[in-house]
Structure 1
Amino acid sequence: MNQLFSQDKLNIINVGLKGFGQDAMSQGAVVKQVEWKPVAGGRKDIIEALDKVEPLAEKIKEANETVVSRMKAAKPVLVGMDLALNVVPEMTEHTILHAGPPIAWENMCGPMKGAVIGAVLFEGLAADDEEAVKLIESGAIKFDPCHEHKAVGPMAGVLSAHMPVHIVKNETNGDYAYCSINEGLGKVLRFGAYSKEVLDRLAFLRDEFMPVMQKALALTDGIDIKLITAQALQMGDECHNRNKAATSLFYKQISQLILETDCEKAAIQKTLSFIAGNDHYFLNLSMPACKLITEAGQNVPYATIVSTMARNGVEFGIKVSGIGTGEWFDYASNYIEGLYFPGYSKEDANPDIGDSAITETTGIGGMSMAGAPAIVQFVGGDVEDAFNTTKRMYGITTDINAAYAIPNMNFKGAPMGIDMLKVIESGVLPVINTGIAHKEAGIGQIGAGIVNPPMECFYQALLAYVKKYA
Structure 2
Amino acid sequence: MTNLFTSDLKVINVGLDAFADSIIQNGGNATKVAWRPPALGDTNTGRALATLINNEEVDAANRIALSRYLAANPVLKGVGKAANSVPGMGERTLLHAGPPISWEEMGGPMKGAIIGAVIYEGWTETEKAASEMASSGEITFSPCHHHSAVGPMSGIISPSMPVWIVENTEHGNKSYSNFNEGLGKVLRYGANSPEVILRLKWIEETLATVCRAALQNIGELELKPLIGQALHMGDECHNRNVASTALLIKKLLPSIIKT
Q: What is the TM-score when the length of structure 2 is the normalising length?
A: 0.82
Match of 2:208 in 1: 210
Displacement, 1:130?
2.1
Determine the C-alpha separation between the residues in 1 that align with 2:119 and 2:46: 50
TM alignment of 1:117-266, pairs within 5 A? 117-261=115-259
Match of 1:419 in 2: none
Determine the C-alpha separation between the residues in 2 that align with 1:43 and 1:129: 43
Displacement, 1:247?
1.2
TM alignment of 1:89-104, pairs within 5 A? 89-104=87-102
Once the two structures are superposed, residues 88-131 of structure 1 have per-residue CA deviations (whole angstroms, 9 ceiling, x without a partner) of 01112211111111111122122111111111111111122222
Match of 1:48 in 2: 47
Distance 1:185 1:52, change over 3 A: closer
Distance 1:58 1:128, change over 3 A: closer
Displacement, 1:85?
0.3
Match status 1:26 vs 2:26: no
Match of 1:282 in 2: none
Letter in 2 for 1:44: T
Letter in 1 for 2:147: H
Displacement, 1:194?
1.8
Match of 2:104 in 1: 106
Distance 1:25 1:65, change over 3 A: same
Report the RMSD for the aligned CA atoms in angstroms: 2.6
Match of 2:28 in 1: none
Distance 1:46 1:132, change over 3 A: closer
Displacement, 1:39?
6.9
Determine the C-alpha separation between the residues in 2 that align with 1:60 and 1:101: 22
SS of match in other structure, 1:96: strand
Once the two structures are superposed, residues 187-237 of structure 1 have per-residue CA deviations (whole angstroms, 9 ceiling, x without a partner) of 111122222221111111111222211111012232222221211111111
Determine the C-alpha separation between the residues in 2 that align with 1:209 and 1:50: 47
Once the two structures are superposed, residues 109-160 of structure 1 have per-residue CA deviations (whole angstroms, 9 ceiling, x without a partner) of 2211111111111111112222222222221111111111111111111111
Displacement, 1:244?
1.3
Determine the C-alpha separation between the residues in 2 that align with 1:240 and 1:64: 23
Determine the C-alpha separation between the residues in 1 that align with 2:46 and 2:161: 47
Distance 1:257 1:155, change over 3 A: same
Distance 1:132 1:39, change over 3 A: closer
Determine the C-alpha separation between the residues in 2 that align with 1:96 and 1:85: 10
Once the two structures are superposed, residues 377-403 of structure 1 have per-residue CA deviations (whole angstroms, 9 ceiling, x without a partner) of xxxxxxxxxxxxxxxxxxxxxxxxxxx
Letter in 2 for 1:228: L
Displacement, 1:53?
4.4
Unpaired runs of 5+ residues, structure 2, are 15-32
Determine the C-alpha separation between the residues in 2 that align with 1:168 and 1:221: 13
Distance 1:107 1:42, change over 3 A: closer
Letter in 1 for 2:151: G
Determine the C-alpha separation between the residues in 1 that align with 2:6 and 2:223: 61
Once the two structures are superposed, residues 406-441 of structure 1 have per-residue CA deviations (whole angstroms, 9 ceiling, x without a partner) of xxxxxxxxxxxxxxxxxxxxxxxxxxxxxxxxxxxx
Distance 1:126 1:235, change over 3 A: same
Determine the C-alpha separation between the residues in 2 that align with 1:50 and 1:180: 36
Determine the C-alpha separation between the residues in 2 that align with 1:58 and 1:139: 44
Match of 1:82 in 2: 80
Displacement, 1:73?
0.4
- Aligned pair count reads 237
Letter in 2 for 1:208: T
Letter in 2 for 1:48: R
Unpaired runs of 5+ residues, structure 1, are 1-8, 11-23, 262-470
Distance 1:106 1:42, change over 3 A: closer
Determine the C-alpha separation between the residues in 2 that align with 1:176 and 1:53: 30
Determine the C-alpha separation between the residues in 2 that align with 1:101 and 1:195: 27
Letter in 2 for 1:25: L
Determine the C-alpha separation between the residues in 2 that align with 1:50 and 1:110: 33
Once the two structures are superposed, residues 145-176 of structure 1 have per-residue CA deviations (whole angstroms, 9 ceiling, x without a partner) of 11111111111111111111111111111111
Determine the C-alpha separation between the residues in 2 that align with 1:66 and 1:104: 34
Letter in 2 for 1:118: G
Letter in 2 for 1:144: S
Distance 1:248 1:138, change over 3 A: same
Match of 1:275 in 2: none
SS of match in other structure, 1:215: helix
Determine the C-alpha separation between the residues in 2 that align with 1:111 and 1:39: 31
Q: What is the TM-score when the length of structure 1 is the normalising length?
A: 0.47
